[in-house]
Amino acid sequence: MTRITVKVDGVSYTDDVEPRLLLVHYLREAVGKTGTPIGCDTTNCGACTVHMDGKSVKSCSVLAVQADGSEITTIEGIGNGEWHPLQSAFRAEHALQCGYCTPGMIMAAADLLRENPDPTDHEVREGLEGNLCRCTGYQNIVRAVRRAAQETREGAAS
Amino acid sequence: MIPAKFDYVKPRSLDEAVSALAEGGDDAKVIAGGQSLLPLLRLRLAYPELLVDVGGLDELRGVREEGESLWIGALTTHYELIHDRLIAEHCGLLAQAAGTVADPAVRHRGTIGGNLSHADAAGDLPAVMLALDATMVAHGPGGNRDIAAADFFVDYLTPALDGSDILTGVRVPKHGRGWGFRYEKFQATAQSWAIVGVAAMVRRSNGHVAEARVGLTNMGPVPVRARAVEDAAAGAAADRDALRQAAGHAADGTSPPTDLNARPDYREHLARVLTGRALAHAAGA
Amino acid sequence: MTTDTQAPAADAEIGKARVRKEDARLVTGQTNWTDNLTQPGMLHMAFARSPFAHARITRVDLSAARSMPGVIAVYSGADFAAEQGSLPCAWPVTPDIVIPDHPPMATEEVRYVGEAVACVVARNRYEAADAAAAIDVDYEPLPAVLDIRTALDQGSPKVHEAGNKSYEFAMTSGDVDAAFAGAPVVLERNYRQQRLIPVAMEPRAVLCAPSGDEFTLWSATQIPHVLRTMLALVTGIPEHKLRVIAPDVGGGFGSKLQVTAEEVLALLAARKLRKPVKWTESRSEGNLTVHHGRDQWQRIRIAAERDGRIRGLAVDLLADMGAYLMLVTPGVPLLGAQLFNAIYKMDAYSFRCTGVFTTKMPTDAYRGAGRPEATFAIERIMDDLAAELGVDPLELRKRNWITHEEFPYTTISGMIYDSGNYEAATARALELFGYDELRREQEQRRASGDPVQLGIGISTYTEACGLAPSRALGEGNYAAGGWEHASVRMLATGKVEVVTGSSAHGQGHETAWSQIVADKLGVPFEDVRVLHGDTLVAPKGMDTYGSRSLAVGGIAVVGACGKVVEKARVIASALLEAPPEEIEFSGGTFQARGGGGPAKTIQEIAFEAFTGHNLPDGTEPSLDAEATFDPSNLSFPHGTHLCAIEVDTETGQVTIRSYVAVDDAGVVVNPLIVEGQVHGGIAQGIGQALFEEAVYDDDGNLLTTTMADYLLPSAADLPDFVTDYTQTPATSNPLGVKGIGEAGTIASTPAVVNSIVDALRPMGVRDVTMPCTPQRVWRAIQAARGNASGGTGDAGSGKGSDGDTRSGVTHTPPDGGSAASDEGGPR
């Protein structure tokens, strides 16, 4: 067992974990952040995407011990108690159907907007290449990300 | 899926890491970002008994100028390769190729050291190292050791590292004015591995190619330097036809693999077409 | 039946682009995926699975696993033999069909890689995985059976003792021989419908909690009601002691329309251990063991006049069942039996399908189920026929399609298409697409020898949704009905609970049903709550598949609302002191005819019913009502999809440049949801056309177990789609609605492949086998150019020489055209 301290959605946790424990299992089962689901074994689907020290990572492909000392944000903490503009935009643009990919998609999109606050459609599509959705055909996801970008820019300007 | 059990140490110094690896023997493995290793662990295709986490070693961090070369620490992530000012200035090919690796989240975690130590000929950076004439620097019980990129990729998933060697970084010659570059990657889907990739460096002079270097991704068990193309391109006019002709040698001496995406003859064909395109782009033709 | 062709009222909820109610929990991570759920004392299950496609189990050694830390129990098939029964096949399509015994856990023989042979129940999922890896099984390998084209040959190894044929189904309408004899044009084509893996984003999961002799089972299923009944029949646990819950379910596409081995075994393990047991699959486990889709060889022949009029069509299918028949395995190819004739008129039609066993994962429903296969074959050969005749492919379709004046129309295959307007949808699609400009550009590129060629693909489709009526299903030996159930509860405060037997897993029922109820009861959209997916809460239902929910389940909701209004009318009549027949109901208010007098809202009536203080004698103090709807016919959405692609002829890479879909799903309840269904459907159809294939090697090992091998398109691999719809109301239900869940998938696959062949036809390419990967497209071009490097390859193997079934140019057909296709077809 290895002792780790991780801040998740603003709360600090210290636990003894097996070295092989995946970060996503730590988040889901030790911290109770079941908003972050698991969709594959090979880093392809992106459903488990969270932010680690401000950058998107696939939490199924990070060991919990590697996250020691880091700050994690999940879909449950991204809005700081409110809805993040991406959460609102995903709803407004019907950017989800079953919703299983949605937490990862939103976390990946938030990372994209952090780097590029005004992406083109093409840039959104490229930026989300690591997140698979089987329901929407992605078009409304692209719309939602651009809508959130616009609203964020307008919010910042006003 | 769930990895099998292993022990884990996170050394505080390079020497400590090397001794941990030495002690662990064949059953010990280095982990950095883990983006190649974690899927293998989860699919139980790898069963290390000890993981040595080099993530805390500051010696492996940073990008800096060392005379006519850049030193790129092994822990430099793909994300950092894409965004680093020095890399953009002196070896843009590396930044461009790093931008095609997997996807943004994987690029945040995955490191150049991990990528090269994994020595996957389907990975994008090994061929880039060949085209850049880079040097790998390994640290082992006997101290530091330089390994030319051309000697580093020994066989499929086999780098020229001894059991307790750790790749600490890469030394890349600066490629200044006059050099053009292109990484041409051909994929089945945006996030999938290269079916074939071509890393091209071209130095142009008076409308001709003064020097060309070409590395090929996924054209054999190891990344391939396309010497025949380089020889044919050297001195050739920097125009599309001449470069396409030179690219006709791209598959010479290769032994490309068969997989779900391609059989060898198609890979050979792609190598020729993509090399022509990469050279033309790099030469500004 | 009535047809509501009038424009909806301005304030009508039906037709409004409401954002979805269900999104609030889904975008914030407050979800109830089955794997999120825990129960006190819950244990975790993991499986040991066969590494052989076909083998006899000679020894199972559980001792090492039993001694591992945290392990509560380890079972082999023998431990379940007395109670596990046989997984059900609910569609014995012919009287002499062979339905092999299908134990949830193999006891003597395994017949596909991934079949469960033993399991562990442990304290946590890590310990369970470790112990499962320690289970030691010895096998005596038996020969694999992988190619349905040779599986029926004399001397082929057998999958089951009874042989490799499951069934043969045939139907004929009209004089097919006469139609083909002397026809001026006859074309024959062999098409491959490759095997697909559905890949819902949520992997399967099941949790079973025992309580005495009663059990609650949560499952990532599309069919909680069917599952409950089937689990009772399989295990002998009385149905009333089983409660099945489908909590939030992360997509299905048919893959969760199943009664799975893992569901049965989790239930049995929970019963043995008297503890809650959970199992969650990994993706690589899922690719192996979630049922696969498609997998047919299609031979299609068409006879036509020189002017393009179709005389006859003959279809002969070989369908890969896999190793066993699962819930509706044998019926899936037959869902296309009456649809190869599609939107076209003809004199004669024949259809034959042979279901064949192989040592692979069973196939079953995958989005479209039978209709994509049918639509692909007819729309592909229509393009070839147009080329043969030298007419524009759209013009050929116009010469043959059923015109809008001809509805209702009884097709050659015996279906009655109630409504449709192919002209209107096609006209709109052409307008959005810019067909003529693209054709001009295509000519220019051809003339200039551009290495990037342009192709235009067309798919005019219809399909059949909402399997019904029940009587007809009975005649087809389908084990269930085609009805759906709903109930409406008026709460004391005027709020409404709607209980539906449909079981949504992404389709937005909570929103769409609320819109229907808001209109029918005149209550605010926000005041309606929709309950589903729990057999205790929604005790009656037939669940969600086959684009049935709105056209069947939505109509049951309408029926229940109507009954609520009638019950309320009686109370209103007493309160308003006017006879019931004088009381009108509009916008949620009861009032005596003529208006002006006192009025009562439905909420006020609900409160009156709650108190019961002022009800007339003999009046039930409740407005609640339920209804079950059994449609008189299926519904027949249709549409026209147009696709423009660019092919890089140097590499074979295909890029979709533009895609237009105009669909007609009848009356649209929520345009946002309809658009979403169409987008997602198109994406999945494109997946089949360009990217996806489940590949087995020569030993029967699945090579595409991960998402790194089974390629799904990402956002970066797809274009924007231009979508619109026409609305031709269905006449078989009072809302005029049709299904839209599968239309995009059905239409898009042939549109894409037609566009690729269209681009390359001048080079001599006549077909490219799906998925049309760059390698296959390149090989098709090479073969057409007579270049040996592309023309031979894996000729006729079709079963993965050195792991490669994706390539496969085989032969230059006698007419000089080239088909990049694995050789052969049904024989």
- Report helix, strand and coil shares of chain C as percent, to nearest 5: 30, 25, 45
As given in the structure block, the two tokens for residue B282 are 């790099």
Distances (CA, A) of C362 to C115, C325, C704, C706: 10, 7, 16, 18
* Pairing mode, strands B158-159 and C185-196: unpaired
Q: What is the DSSP letter of C355?
A: E
- The pLDDT > 70 percentage for chain C reads 94
Chain B residue with minimum CA distance to C47? B1
Instruction: Locate C185 and state its tokens.
Output: 């044009």
pLDDT in tens, C406-443: 999 999 999 999 999 999 999 999 999 999 999 999 99
Judged on CB neighbours under 10 Å (0-12, 13-18, 19+), A11 is: exposed
Which residues of A make CB contacts under 8 Å with B?
A: 2, 18-20, 22, 41-44, 46, 49, 52, 55-58, 60-63, 65-66, 108, 111-112, 126-127, 129-131
Q: What is the pLDDT of residues B77-96, one digit of tens each?
A: 999 999 999 999 999 999 99
Handedness of CA C121, C123, C129, C135 (dihedral sign): negative
Question: Is B105 in contact with A18 (Cβ distance < 8 A)?
Answer: no
Interface residue A37 vs chain C (CB under 8 A): yes
Tell me which residues of chain C, numbers 576 to 595, contact chain A at a CB-CB cutoff of 8 Å. none
Q: CB-based contact (8 Å) between B53 and chain A?
A: yes
Nearest to C201, CA basis, from C220, C217, C188: C220
Q: Which amino acid is at C28?
A: T
The three-class DSSP label of residue A111 is helix
Beta-strand ranges (E) seen in chain B are: 7-9, 28-31, 50-53, 63-66, 69-73, 135-140, 143-148, 153-155, 158-159, 166-173, 179-187, 194-205, 208-217, 224-225
Which H/E stretch holds residue B119?
none
Whether the bond between C100 and the residue before it is cis, its omega within 30 degrees of 0, is no
The answer to whether C283 touches C109, Cβ cutoff 8 Å, is no
In sign, the C-alpha dihedral spanning C363, C368, C374, C375 is negative
pLDDT over threshold 60, residue C504: yes
pLDDT of A10 reads 97
Q: Which amino acid is at C288?
A: L
For C437-471, write each residue's pLDDT tens digit. Answer: 999 999 999 999 999 999 999 999 999 999 989 99
Bridge partner list, B204: B209
Bond into B39 cis (ω within 30): no
Q: What whole-number distance in Å separates Cα of residue C680 and Cα of residue C670?
A: 16
pLDDT of res. C8: 54
Asked if C762 contacts C676 with a C-beta cutoff of 8 angstroms, the reply is no
- pLDDT digit string, tens, across residues C174-191: 999 999 999 999 999 999
- Write down the ipTM of this complex: 0.98
Separation of alpha carbons C614 and C604, rounded Å: 12
pLDDT tens digits for range C100-142: 999 999 999 999 999 999 999 999 999 999 999 999 999 999 9
Residue C363 and residue C294 in contact, taking contact as beta carbons nearer than 8 Å:
yes
Distance separating alpha carbons of residues A84 and A112, to the nearest angstrom: 14
* Pairwise CA distance, residues B242 & B236, whole Å: 6
Give the alpha-carbon dihedral of C1, C6, C10, C11, to 10 degrees.
-10
Distance between CA atoms of residues C777 and C797, nearest Å: 18
Which residues, at least 6 apart from B23, have a Cβ–Cβ distance to it below 8 Å? none
Binding-site residues on chain C for chain B (CB distance < 8 A): 125-126, 129-130, 133, 282, 284-285, 650-651, 653, 691, 695, 703-704, 706, 708-709, 711-714, 716-717, 773-775, 778-779, 789-790, 793, 802-804, 806-807
| Three-state helix/strand/coil letters over A9-74 | CCEEEEEEECCCCEHHHHHHHHCCCCCCCCCCCCCCCCCCEEEECCEEEEHHHCEHHHHCCCEEEC
- The tens digit of pLDDT for each residue in C683-702 reads 999 999 999 999 999 999 99
The answer to whether C480 and C554 are in contact (CB under 8 A) is no
The two three-digit tokens of residue A59, written as one number: 């939490």
d(Cα A89, Cα C154) in Å, to the nearest integer?
61
| Confidence category of residue A155, pLDDT binned at 50, 70, 90 | confident
Which run of H or E residues covers position C526?
A: none
**C783 or C5, higher pLDDT:** C783
Q: Is the pLDDT of residue C822 over 50?
A: no
DSSP codes of every residue in C280-341: E--HHHHHHHSPBEEEEEEEEEEEE-TTS-EEEEEEEEEEEEESS--SSGGGTGGGGTTTTT
Asked if the Cβ–Cβ distance from A99 to C27 is below 8 Å, we say: yes
Q: What is the pTM of this model?
A: 0.96
Q: In chain A, how many H helices and how many E strands?
A: 5, 5
**Record: contact A18-B102, CB cut-off 8 A:** no
Predicted confidence (pLDDT) per residue in C64-91, tens digit: 999 999 999 999 999 999 999 999 999 9
SS3 call for C465: strand
Residues above pLDDT 90, as percent of chain C: 93
Mean pLDDT of C220-248: 98
The predicted-structure confidence for C387-405, as pLDDT tens digits, reads as follows 999 999 999 999 999 999 9
CA–CA–CA angle A87, A89, A94 (5° rounding): 100
Across the strands, what pairs with A55? A52
Task: Choose among C125, C708, C807: nearest Cβ to B192.
Answer: C708
Q: pLDDT at residue C4 above 90? A: no
> Does residue C778 carry a pLDDT above 50?
yes
pLDDT at C794 over 90: no
Q: How far is A123 from chain B (nearest CA, A)?
A: 12
Please report residues of C whose CB lies closer than 8 A to that of B274: 651
C513 touches chain A (CB under 8 A): no
Q: Is the pLDDT of residue C825 over 50?
A: no
Residue A120 in this model has a pLDDT that exceeds 60: yes
Closest listed residue to residue C107, CA positions, set C83, C129, C128:
C83
Q: At what angle do helices A139-157 and A102-115 cross, to 10 degrees?
A: 50
pLDDT band at C10 (very low <50, low <70, confident <90, very high): low
Centre a 10 Å sphere on the Cβ of residue A150 and count the other Cβ atoms it contains.
14
Residue C810 pLDDT: 29
Contacts of B2 in chain A (CB under 8 A): 20, 22
Chain B partners within 8 Å of C713 (Cβ): 189
> Cα A132 to the chain's mean position, in Å?
13
- A48 closest CA partner among A28, A19, A70: A28
Q: What is the pLDDT of residue C817?
A: 44
The band of A158, judged by pLDDT with boundaries at 50, 70 and 90, is: confident
pLDDT band at residue C802 under the 50/70/90 scheme: very low
The reply to whether residue B188 touches residue C691, judged by beta carbons under 8 angstroms, is yes
Asked whether residue C167 carries a pLDDT value surpassing 50, the answer given is yes
Pick from B263, B184, B183: which is nearest to B219 by CA? B263
Handedness of CA A55, A59, A65, A66 (dihedral sign): negative
Nearest to C345, CA basis, from C422, C399, C424: C399
Please give the backbone phi and psi of residue A59, each rounded to the nearest 5 degrees, phi first: -70, -10
Residues A131, B103: C-beta atoms closer than 8 Å:
yes
Is it the case that residue C813 has pLDDT exceeding 50?
no
Render pLDDT for A15-61 as a digit per residue (tens, 0 to 9).
999 999 999 999 999 999 999 999 999 999 999 999 999 999 999 99
> So what's the pLDDT on residue C359?
98
Give the residue ranges of chain B where pLDDT is below 50: none
Question: Across the interface, do A128 and C681 touch by the CB < 8 Å criterion?
Answer: no
The pLDDT, as a whole number, for residue C397 is 98
The answer to whether residues C773 and C784 touch, using CB atoms and an 8 Å cutoff, is no
Three-state DSSP state, C401? strand
* B155-189 burial code (b ≥16 CB/10 A, e <16): eebebbbeebbbbbbbbbebbeeebbbbbbbbbbb
Could you tell me the sign of the dihedral formed by the alpha carbons of C20, C24, C25, C27, in that order?
Answer: positive
Residue C98 has pLDDT above 80, yes or no: yes
For B37, nearest residue in chain A (alpha carbons) = A61
| pLDDT exceeds 90 at position C808 | no
- Specify burial of residue C444 (Cβ count, 10 A radius: 0-12, 13-18, 19+): exposed
* pLDDT at residue C809 greater than cutoff 70: no
CA distance A147 to chain C (A): 15
Tell me which residues of chain A, numbers 57 to 96, contact chain C at a CB-CB cutoff of 8 Å: 74-76, 79, 83, 87, 90-92, 94, 96
Instruction: Kindly indicate the confidence band of residue C11, based on its pLDDT and cuts at 50, 70 and 90.
Output: confident
Between CA C354 and CA C165 the distance in angstroms is: 7
Rounded to the nearest 10°, the torsion over CA A37, A40, A43, A46 is -40
Find chains touching chain B: ≥3 CB pairs under 8 Å.
A, C
Asked if the model's pLDDT at residue C815 lies above 70, the reply is no
Give alpha helix (H) positions in C579-670: 602-611
Name the residue among C268, C284, C259, C124 with its Cα closest to residue C710.
Answer: C284
Q: Three-class SS of residue C170?
A: strand
Which tens digits make up the pLDDT trace of C266-314?
A: 999 999 999 999 999 999 999 999 999 999 999 999 999 999 999 999 9
